[in-house]
């Protein structure tokens, strides 16, 4: 069965960095677009970034552009999010999600990893 398992979250000071990972199993990872989507405590969902199946196409939300970098290693069935210059407002649960294809949403989500940015 499809599984997405995130890791790498934790407590970091403003201005710090963190690298999130998402390991996929149960499907051919290299065939799918992947996204990072976050949810601040008590708030709604916010799309963060997506990467195409080959890694050649990448987009970011304006709120993270220039600070976050998405990448993937298809040989390791893994998705990453390098987060630099973290701000208090980046505090959220970060989900990795599989793109359903054709811009038609995300059909599988991980359980999420909590990132807390605080001094």
Strands (E), the chain: 3-7, 10-12, 18-25, 34-39, 45-51, 58-60, 68-73, 78-83, 92-99, 106-109, 113-117
Minimum separation from the CB atom of position 72 to another protein (A): 18
Minimum separation from the CB atom of position 62 to another protein (A): 8
Choice between 35 and 91, CB closer to another protein: 35
Cα atoms in the Cβ-side hemisphere of radius 13 Å centred on 66: 3
Residues of this chain that interact with another protein (CB under 8 A) are 35, 44-47, 50, 59, 61-62, 95, 100, 102-107, 109-112
Choice between 110 and 117, CB closer to another protein: 110
């Amino acid at each position: 069965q499809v599984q997405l398992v995130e890791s790498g979250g934790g407590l970091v000071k403003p201005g710090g960095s963190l690298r999130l990972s998402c390991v996929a199993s149960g499907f051919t990872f290299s065939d799918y677009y992947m996204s990072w989507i976050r949810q601040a405590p008590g708030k709604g969902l916010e799309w963060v970034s997506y990467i195409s199946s080959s890694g050649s196409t990448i987009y970011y939300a304006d709120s993270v552009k220039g600070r976050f970098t998405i990448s993937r290693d298809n040989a390791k069935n893994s998705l990453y999010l390098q987060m630099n210059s973290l701000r208090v407002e980046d505090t959220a649960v970060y989900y990795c999600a599989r793109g359903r294809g054709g811009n038609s949403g995300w059909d599988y989500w991980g359980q999420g990893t909590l990132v807390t940015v605080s001094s």
